[in-house]
Amino acid sequence: MTLADVEKYEDDQIGGPEKADIVIAWHQSLTSASQWNMDPITFLAERAQQLLRASDIKYNKSWLELPELIKQIIACLRDTKAIMTLSSGGPAKNVTAHRQARR
């Protein structure tokens, strides 16, 4: 997946994420603001729904609702995105520079 792939999909609905190959566009929002990201998040939620229904795990029935699953997946992905941003020298780099400047 390239930035051009994401733009082509969001502009013209050509191509797009595939269920068999989940790819998140980390440079974009994890919410409905990014159609590219909402598709694989929905794929993941649908798969989680299937797995929960087929399992013997006791769970609250509200967990099976797609909006709830999507909300939980987005929360987990936000944590992942934050960790990735910090480890790549994003905002953390700015915080370090700011701290050094104050000394």
Per-residue pLDDT at 20: 92
**Inter-residue contact 35 to 42 (CB < 8 Å):** no
Instruction: Indicate whether 95 pLDDT > 60.
Output: no
**pLDDT: which is higher, 64 or 39:** 39
Q: What is the DSSP letter of 32?
A: T
The larger pLDDT score, comparing residue 62 to residue 2, is at 2
Q: What is the distance between the alpha carbons of residues 66 and 64, in angstroms, rounded to a whole number? A: 6
- Quick check: 68 pLDDT over 90? yes
- CA 80 vs CA 44, 51, 77, 89: distances in Å: 15, 22, 5, 15
DSSP category for residue 61:
G
In this predicted structure, what is the pLDDT of residue 94? 47
Q: What's the pTM?
A: 0.76
pLDDT value of residue 102: 47
The answer to whether 32 touches 38, Cβ cutoff 8 Å, is yes
Name which residue leads in pLDDT, 30 or 59. 30
The confidence score (pLDDT) of residue 63 equals: 76
